Structure 1
């Protein structure tokens, strides 16, 4: 059984697509939990604000199968295969961590978003503050304490 962390975000009909994405990801897990949902301004483009969260899953799926399954969920929820990086989207699912795996090929693990975006790091700090990122010395809580967000972000009530 592997513990994986997946970021999830939506800024198109987000009240519909975020819960739909969570429900679909939960079906891939033997057990799961998630952070609070945060609202965040888009990074790198103009658009509606995102709803973001991080889901922790316990899964027996291989990394390749998990990645393929997440891409299929994105397709089923209306995200085109050729979607550009910085644009509005119904759903975005990215593997942040997959056990202790360090991978330089796709998907790159640990995902660099952990070091760049408050909408990833704040939810991770809620789920697993004492987790040490594979190949690093710092815990998630330490990274969050040192982080200076470049975007506005707040919990959704």
Structure 2
């Protein structure tokens, strides 16, 4: 199943995006990432975000992919509490799974 994900960070941006990419490569061997780009925050007051898109093929179910993405976020120390304070260590959104748009990516 063709899968598209979006990564974003507004804290130690370069380090956290790189770390997330490395972790995701452990689960999805063929994942490819766009070049990261800096964007202004939308809906929160914070430093700028660094974002990129990842694409890969998987046989995993939608639920399995979502659980994996949440586990990567959690393993990097991201939390709801941090987000409430405007600190996003890493945010990984599932944008597309097969032909289904799961979440619109607002910074594109």
Is TM > 0.5 for Structure 1 vs Structure 2?
Answer: yes
User: 1:110, 1:71 → 2: CA distance?
Assistant: 15
The answer to whether the aligner puts 1:112 opposite 2:101 as a matched pair is no
Higher strand share: 2
Residue number in structure 1 paired with 2:98 = 99
Q: Which has the higher relative contact order, 1 or 2, with Cα contacts under 8 A spaced 6 or more apart?
A: 2
* Aligned-residue offset at 1:44: 1.0
Per-residue deviation, 1:30: 3.7
Unaligned runs of 5+ in 2: none
| CA drift at 1:81 | 4.8
Is the radius of gyration larger for structure 1 or structure 2?
1
CA RMSD across the alignment? 1.8
Q: Which runs of 5+ in 1 are unaligned?
A: 102-108, 122-157
Match of 1:126 in 2: none
**Deviation of the 1:15 alpha carbon:** 1.8
**Number of matched residues?**
108
- State the TM-score, normalized to the length of structure 2: 0.88
